Every structure is written in C-alpha cells, then in structure tokens.
Structure 1
C-alpha cells in the first residue's frame, strides 16, 4: 500500500500518549477571553433590520448595516452566546479568497475570477482597516500564508505558485524535515484570535447602536410586511431580515439540503519556550498548511502556542450538529502523531486543549446567497471553512440584496447562481464518505484522482484543497 510521510515517519507511541495526557476538552480561544453578557429577548421589539445569528456573518452584517445607515434600527438575536460556535472555534486564518482558493474559483467562474480575486483582496484590506479604525483587540497579524509540500508530487503543484521556495528556502522559514518545498503568499492571509474577533465585532456593533440579544433561539419566520422573527419568549417585527445561521438548520425550507455539517478537529499546545521556538524557526509567523487533499493547517498564537488542526474531517450520518461528535480520541491521536512527525524536535511538548466544530460545507465549497419573502429576507451560508474573512463580504452582499439596487457584488454569477443541494440520506452519507476515501487514496498515490473524483470534477462538484 502506498504511504504518506506521516506513515513513513511515525513518532513514538509513548511521546504521543504523554503529549495528550493533560489535554482538556475545551476551546482554547473561548477560555482565553472574558465574555460580556447580553440579555435574552422578552416580548416584542420592532426593527428596520433583524439579524439572526451571532457569529461572524451576523456580526459583520450588523456592523456594516450601521456603517451604511447609522439611523437604521438593527436587532441581532443569537441562540446561545456570541461567537460560541464556528466563529469562536476556528483556526483564525483570515484569508482573502472568497472562492475557497483561486483554483476553485477558476473552475467555477473563469470569466469572473480576476474580479473575484480583486474583491477578495479588497475585503481583507477592509477588515484590516476596520480593526484599526475601531481599535479592535483581535491579535491581527498580516503574515501571509505558507503552503508546504510534504510529498514529491506536491512540489510540482507549488512550483507554479508565486513565492515558490525550494527545500532549503522553505526550511529556512520553518524547519520541518517533512518539507520538500513551499510557496509563501505574503498578502493573502492574516491571523486573528477568533473569539476576540467575534467579541470585538459585538462591542463595535453595540457601540454603533445595535441591540444584541443572546440565548434567544429563533423558532420561525412569519409574514412579509413586516417579517416576524419568532423566538422562544418574544419576537422581532422587522422590515428586513438577514439569516446568518450557517451550519445550523436553515429557517427556510428551500435551504435545508444546501449545506452539511462536517466536523473539524484541533489541538493546541502549551506555549513554546525560546529554545523550542529557535528549534523550528518560524520567525515570520506565517499561517501554514500542507498541500494534500486531507490537509493540516497550523499557526502560532500571540502567546507562541501552536494550533494544529485539520486532516480528519468527519461527516456523521443524518447531518446533525451534536456536541457528542466533538470528542473523538482517534482523531486527536492522529493529529498528535502528525504534529510530531512534522516537528520531531518538539517531542516533550504537551497539548493543553482539544476541541472540534462543525463546518457548513456546500457543494461548491464557498458561500451561496439568496433572498426570500419577496426580497425581505437575505441569507448566506456554505463558507466551508473560509468564513473568517468571507463573512464580511457576505454581509455586504446580503445588505445589497435587501436594498434591491444592482451592485458589482450582486451582479456576480457567484452570487446569482445557487449550488446543487446535497442528496437526502442515505445517499449523502454514502457519497461524502466515498469521496473522503478517494481523497485519501489520491494523497497516497501521487495525487492521482480516481474515477469518482474525476466524475465529481466533471460535474463541478470536485474538491481540491
């Protein structure tokens, strides 16, 4: 059987067991902040705009709505707490791409790709400007992204990229014996503290006049003029509504099969000391990922911990979001093994936190958009792991759609066309898991895609990380 470098160079079982022995099942980012409380919604309130969802998509929408029109009354309702789900659990990679990478965009919208790339770059610049304008404490670092090759066939993929680094050059940036080459895009990515970003967006929104209600799950939408957003103990009567519920079941029946939850798993190390940091280099603090289909992503925190995640994305039959799916010992063990294969010089370092979260995956691997209820309800979902940056772009798209006048954003084919839905069960689970196995085989056979992957590529459903 063909292997990857992680099979060929496994660390000792004892080192892995020791590193995991003191790990707690908790989200480091959420442990690292104090979370202000907002009231729950009781009774009836009226608004010009109601936003459903207190993650990045909803928070950016609330902020952008007030920036566009300070007199607009905006109410945001969140089922649990601000940023508790994907927005507080991700790796903190704030990427410029709004198409899940240029290759995905070229495949789907070749005539628009240059415009999409420009809009994505402008969006990231605008995020950086917003952080500065409001003095947002989010550990923002514009470090760029370093993609690395750990197998010979991946070297040829990276050779076509700008910022190509050969073996010596990439190991001078970050010293891992698994690295054969790399490509460093210095402007396409920033790093942030995910939970701080959510909480600071909420702070800014509140200071701009947005009314935020937590622990107010929405049970349904009723009517059109106005739209009634019904919660457990109250309702918002609003002229316009934005749905920013992402991975959770849509309040619109038409969108129930548009996304599936895929669970992603993460480890966080204890802080590295000066000697450990010197042993790996990484002085430019880039966001890192390898080039496999089943890829790892990793980065340094402001306190010099290493977040290491990815690889083992898991779909559970039925497509439900459940907390019990978050504790998966075999996946954390795999991640720990791969970590020490990547950085054998860090043996002895321990992991302090392990956690997981559900990614809202759609069949084109980047967000889709639309309206309902005679144009009074707008939505976006399906960010597929790149929502930290793309949610701000989505907020502007949704506000444009509600305002009704064509803009450069709303005229995009990417915005006007919906992706194909996922099939119902059991077809969804069968198809997703067969695809995952095929991607693993491709990684082990020089990147060669089998009949299933080539068929999905031809149908516009293929995934390439």
Structure 2
C-alpha cells in the first residue's frame, strides 16, 4: 500500500506555527484544573488501628478500599495518601479505560498465549464492573464506552494490524480491520493508512473525576481517608503490620500497597519498576466547523501503532487530548516535580498534532503537563505478597491502569484472604516480570533500547540485534 499523502508543509518541533500554539497553555494537568476539585481530607495525627490499611490514593488504592468494603461492610478500612487523592497518574492520564489487562491483545498473546482468551474475558468483565460502579455510585466522570481505534501511519504497520485482527478473530475476539478509506471515514487524517477498531473494550472518561468519585464512594461506605499523609516505613509487628507516617502510625492486620511508580515500602519489589515520564497536551474546545473538518463523530479513542506512539481522544467539551511519543527516564529512577513540564516535548507533540490534523491549523493548546508512570519489563501489572501474606501489592501497569487497577485491587484482596480464584490461578498473576538491572546498567540499557525503538520506527519496523535480544529474554521498554 502506498504511503499516505502528507501535508505539503510538515511542521517540525521548531516550527513557529506549532510553537505559537503553546503560547497561552497553562502548565498544569487539564483534568486537575477543575473548580469541582474536592478539598483534601485531614492528615493522620496520632495512632490508629484498622483491619486493612491501603497505602496510596490513586485508582489502585481507591478500588481496593471500595471493594474491601463491598466484600465485607464490617471491615475497618483506612486509606492514606501522601498528597491528594488522584493527584498523580490517576489524575494526569489520558482517560482511556481499557478492558485489556495485558497492555493490549498483542502483548498478552505474546506472553500468555495459553490463557489470553481467559484474560480477555476477565478484562471484559472488569470493564463491565467499572461501568456498573460508575452508575451505582453516581460518579460524574463523563464515562463513554466508545471503543478505540489503533491506526497505522506507516506501511509496515498495516500488515501488523491486519495480522492482529485475524489472530483475534480466530480466538473469537472481534477486532475488525479498517482499510484506509474506512478508517478515514471515522476520523480523517492524511496520515492514517488503516486501523483496528476495538468497539466495546475501551471507554473514555474524565480520570480526575473518576478518582474523586471513588473517593466519595469510599467515604460513604465508611472508609477513613487521610490525605497529605506519607507512609515512611513498614514493619512486621506481632500478628499485624505497622506503617509509620510523619505525625503518627497505623497498626493494621493487613496492608495493600497501591503506590504506583513511587518507591515501594517493600524494598525487594523496587527493581521490578522503572519510573518514566509521559507528556500530554490539551487543545481549546473545537468549534463545530473544526470538528466537521476531521469527522470525528463516534468519539473513539485513538492511538497509532509506532513503538513511540501517540494517544488522542475527545473530551466531553470537544477538546482534543494529544499525548505520548516521548517517554523519559531519569538516572537513578529520580522523581521530581520539575520533570512534570518539558517544553521540548510539548513543542514536538504540537508539531506532530498539526501533522496528523493539518485541517486544525490555528487551534491553540490550553494545558501542558506530564507525570510519572510505573513501567515494568512485560508492560502489564504484576502482583504478590510480603510479610507472611499480611501485605499485598499490585503495580507495573505501564500507563494502562485506568481499568486494570480495579482487577489488581481484586487480586490484592484475594491474596490477602488466601483465596484461590480464577484471578490468582492465572499464570499472569502467579508470575513476575524480569527486574531491571541496577544503575548505571539500567540507565544505559534504557537509553540504548529507546534509540533502537526509534530506529525501528524509522526503518519499517525492522528490529535490530539489540531489540531481538531484549525480546528473547522478555525485557522491553516502550512508550
């Protein structure tokens, strides 16, 4: 298939038109810049006791606390959060709530071919349960089950998408292939060559409002929430676990850790996660004429199929979120507030946006932001216990945790209960990814892999010897 026609003038990262579109952008996450943002709950002062302590006020922790109360309304549950509920990855992501538990069908098929059908079923049921909870608790998060289209923007990606669609069909999974004309009827970009449409397996939502809605649901069920309460130390104490905080401590029978990319209280888990930064832009609201120019009537989420990919979607007020591509790792896994803004990445993303949608020349961006995500070498979450089964953890969602964190919460509760379930019996849950090597090998390896992935994108998808070696040992690194 011939390469799609490009605009006559393709903006570059230093193109003044692209950069000018960023002039008035607020350097803050769009979702968190909301007058409806709830006030933080008081910090923990003194000592508390509880049945279950949940550490982390993102999706992972919130779902764990909520499901724990749903399973046993009499269970005494406390949740502590170092800053505010939803302030980190849960309030900064693209709002793609996917059924996939494996970071996409292709990744799951390559790693767990014998149980991918079961994992897809579990993921679908998990997404149904999220939709049901949003309705049951009256969470106003603009939930839209629109599906998602993975698009090809290079000729070699067309064949890859067609093969994935055919493999899914053989397993009874509907991921219809769209040719160039069909995909451009859905969303019109001169860069789109083909697509695969997951019609029901992805919902779009407002991620911060989901977190705030889960917070309120937890409070309504009796969960005690303390924000601005950082967990500093975890230790075994008799028949329970004690977690220290700056102004007090919590003695709990059991602990669930939902700390994402931040240093885990179980130190042996830290080598399995590399904290990386992802970035996004948000446009001003589009006019009816601008929307008509790109024909985005069915409001699906979209992502392209490169190693360094973009993800993009419409909000409920018809802005376009445009994110991805760059993924930045800092030596030693450093996490810092300063890393949340990266002008060179924003300029690059703006140029790519106008390359994809030249019809929208003149649109301006209202917000720029970034945030840290917990990537692991298999791109999908892993689970386990510590301290004699009294502590459970789930992490490694690699940027696809809006939906999968609810599944992870169920897994943590199953593990703490010592229950054998269809979740805990799966190979995915019973195994772990390979850990990343220590520094400076980690930093060098990630840098080489990023370079190799960029070269693969530029060379028709061909993977060099380095990437083939990483594939053989099960290590990877991606945007």
> Which residue of 1 is the match for residue 231 of structure 2?
218
Q: Would the alpha carbon gap of residues 464 and 18 (structure 1) be closer, same or farther in structure 2, given more than 3 Å must change?
A: closer
> Which residue of 1 is the match for residue 33 of structure 2?
31
Structure 1 residues 239-258: aligned runs within 5 Å:
239-258=253-272
> Which residue of 2 is the match for residue 259 of structure 1?
273
Residue 175, structure 1, aligned to residue 188, structure 2: yes
> Which residue of 1 is the match for residue 19 of structure 2?
17
**Cα distance in structure 1, aligned partners of 2:177 and 2:115:** 26
Residue 330, structure 1, aligned to residue 330, structure 2: no
Name structure 2 gaps, 5 residues minimum: 166-174
CA contact (8 A) 1:5 1:151 kept: no
Residue 44, structure 1, aligned to residue 47, structure 2: yes
CA contact (8 A) 2:450 2:478 kept: no
**Cα distance in structure 1, aligned partners of 2:118 and 2:242:** 37
Deviates more, 1:413-422 or 1:328-337: 413-422
**Cα distance in structure 1, aligned partners of 2:10 and 2:221:** 52
> Which residue of 2 is the match for residue 159 of structure 1?
162
CA contact (8 A) 1:146 1:184 kept: yes
Deviates more, 1:40-49 or 1:10-19: 10-19
1:36 Cα shift? 2.6
CA contact (8 A) 2:241 2:254 kept: yes
> Which residue of 2 is the match for residue 307 of structure 1?
321
- Deviations along 1:162-207, one digit per CA (max 9) or x if unpaired, are 3211111111110111111111110110011010000000000000
- Deviations along 1:15-47, one digit per CA (max 9) or x if unpaired, are 112201111211100002322321100111110
Residue 121, structure 1, aligned to residue 124, structure 2: yes
SS at match of 1:410: coil
**Cα distance in structure 2, aligned partners of 1:228 and 1:8:** 63
- Deviations along 1:27-79, one digit per CA (max 9) or x if unpaired, are 10000232232110011111010000000000000000000000000000000
**Cα distance in structure 1, aligned partners of 2:50 and 2:133:** 25
**Cα distance in structure 2, aligned partners of 1:137 and 1:440:** 39
Aligned length: 463
Q: Would the alpha carbon gap of residues 8 and 436 (structure 1) be closer, same or farther in structure 2, given more than 3 Å must change?
A: farther
**Cα distance in structure 1, aligned partners of 2:309 and 2:261:** 21
- Deviations along 1:344-399, one digit per CA (max 9) or x if unpaired, are 01000000100000110111111110001110000011100000000000000000
| TM-score, structure 2 normalization | 0.94
**Cα distance in structure 2, aligned partners of 1:14 and 1:222:** 55
SS at match of 2:312: strand
CA RMSD of aligned residues (A): 1.6
- Deviations along 1:124-173, one digit per CA (max 9) or x if unpaired, are 11101111111110110000001111111111112231321111111111
Q: Would the alpha carbon gap of residues 356 and 8 (structure 1) be closer, same or farther in structure 2, given more than 3 Å must change?
A: farther
**Cα distance in structure 1, aligned partners of 2:4 and 2:189:** 15
1:14 Cα shift? 2.5
Q: 1:71 aligns with which of 74, 93, 116?
A: 74
> Which residue of 2 is the match for residue 437 of structure 1?
451
SS at match of 1:218: coil
CA contact (8 A) 1:240 1:402 kept: yes
Name structure 1 gaps, 5 residues minimum: none
**Cα distance in structure 1, aligned partners of 2:274 and 2:54:** 22
Q: Would the alpha carbon gap of residues 238 and 399 (structure 1) be closer, same or farther in structure 2, given more than 3 Å must change?
A: same
